Amino acid sequence: QKNKKILSTMRVQMAAPLWGVAYSSLWRPAGAQMVTPPESRHLTIEELNAILQTDATKEFDWSEENAIKAGLLWDGAVQFEWNKAADAELNGQRFPYILCHIGEGLSGYKRKLALAEALNLTENDTDIYYLRTLYNADDYLCVYGQLFASVAAGVTGEEFIVQPLVQTLKFLNNFVDNANQEVGKSNANEQEIYVPTLDVILCPNVAIEENVTADDLAFEVIDSLVQKTIASKLAAAISDTYYLTSEAYGNSTDGSEPSERAQLWNTLLNDYQKAGVCDEAYEMTTWTLTRAADLETGLTSVQIEFNNTGNTEQDQACMLTLALAAASYPDVCSVEMREPVGTSNHYATWLTQSELTNERPFFDVGLNGEGQTVTISDTGIDQNNCYFLDNENPASATYNTNSRKIAQ
């Protein structure tokens, strides 16, 4: 019964809204039918390389020498995602898109209003808050959010770009390369072991139902990935939802050798999607659910820590396979690998004081900041924030020289 309840709100692979959010009717016209070919163009792979920091150009082997072939494969991937978006709409599911307004002479705000108008939204519609800015420059504004395919396909005009969020766009630049590095390495201070963590970030206006826990999410995603149960076997295989591992990609290569990334993902899914192979790695993961306090300004996310991951190839492969499974959900807009964090004060001191290696003239004459108070005026500061909380010397209306955090 528990599994049945989870599956009713969280169906993997283009089924009903898996996170249980109630979508606004403004985003889907009454009686919407199967999507027709879009009237606006999509981003070229050259534009992707210029304005978005994702792994897409590596996924499609883009280079100036290989631009034509990579562009054709990219076009095929975009059409593949449009088909997935159309299937999703038939099941009442929206799909993530990038929308861009191009041309000169408009501010970012006016470009966003133009995009909203193209979607039949007004400035006062709350749904406009769910178009989050992704890129803003003099001649480009790109936002992202979820739409029904029929709505996205109806955006017309030479000034608009409508780009379905191809699965690989959910991975930031160098995602795969970073994941393939030694995942058991120490952090920058070499004081603790780095625990590989995946940040799975949901799309704007997507919420997880209150009765669904992080453990429920872990069960559903992993169970569907390794296909242990009848319920998960009903879901489409991950390889069928990712272009580089799909039959459509195979047909587009005309018998030539698949790209390096296509070979990588095929190997991972063939070898590590089998039941039992990654059980130990997945059983030791810790899943944390962070709900957005306000969907108009925040995003809900899921953090997956691989607590037992070491330096083995199998550990890395299991993590990458799970990342690909998470990215296959249409309610997921980004999958990132958290990199180890460490301070670099040893370098920052001489860089800021002299720009000469290990020369610190301020320190040499005794100027090291001791006894100094940095004044920052901010009436909206959160005194309970971990960076400002000082239980021994709490902030007050009286100036307190003993406070290490907020003096007054």
- Three-class secondary structure of residue 126 per DSSP: helix
- Token output for 104: 């000169």
- Give the containing element (helix H, strand E) for 160: strand 160-164
pLDDT in tens, 92-131: 889 999 999 998 888 888 898 889 888 887 666 666 667 8
Distance separating alpha carbons of residues 147 and 128, to the nearest angstrom: 12
Q: Report whether 73 contacts 63 (CB < 8 A).
A: no
Q: Is 8 or 318 the better-scoring residue by pLDDT?
A: 318
| Average pLDDT score over residue span 377-390 | 72
Q: What is the DSSP letter of 276?
A: T
User: What pLDDT was estimated at residue 181?
Assistant: 64
Residue 311 pLDDT more than 80? Answer: no
Mean pLDDT of 177-186: 60
Distances in Å between the Cα of 51 and the Cα atoms of 43, 139, 208, 406 are: 10, 11, 31, 40
4 versus 292: which is more confidently predicted? 292
The amino acid sitting at 307 is N
pTM for this one? 0.74
Is 45 in contact with 57 (CB distance < 8 Å)?
yes
pLDDT at 126: 61
Distance of CA 21 to the CA centre of its chain: 18
Measured CA to CA, the distance from residue 385 to residue 378 in angstroms comes to 14
Asked if the model's pLDDT at residue 326 lies above 90, the reply is no
**What is the model's pLDDT at position 366?**
87
pLDDT, tens digit, for every residue of 24-73? 333 343 344 445 667 789 999 888 888 888 888 888 888 888 888 888 88
Report the mean per-residue pLDDT for the chain: 77
Q: Quickly state the pLDDT bin for 270 (edges 50, 70, 90).
A: confident
User: What pLDDT sits at residue 259?
Assistant: 83
Check residues 382 and 160 and name the one with the higher pLDDT.
160
E-state strands within 256-386: 285-290, 301-306, 332-338
Band (13; pLDDT cuts 50, 70, 90): very low
Q: Determine the average pLDDT of the residues in 238-256.
A: 81
CA angle 334, 262, 183 (to 5 degrees): 55
For residue 228, give every residue at least 6 positions away whose Cβ sits within 8 Å of its Cβ, in sequence order, or none.
275
% of the chain residues with pLDDT over 90: 11
pLDDT for res 97: 94
> What is the distance between the alpha carbons of residues 270 and 306, in angstroms, rounded to a whole number?
21
Q: Could you tell me what percent of the chain has a pLDDT over 70?
A: 77
Comparing 233 with 286, the larger pLDDT belongs to 286
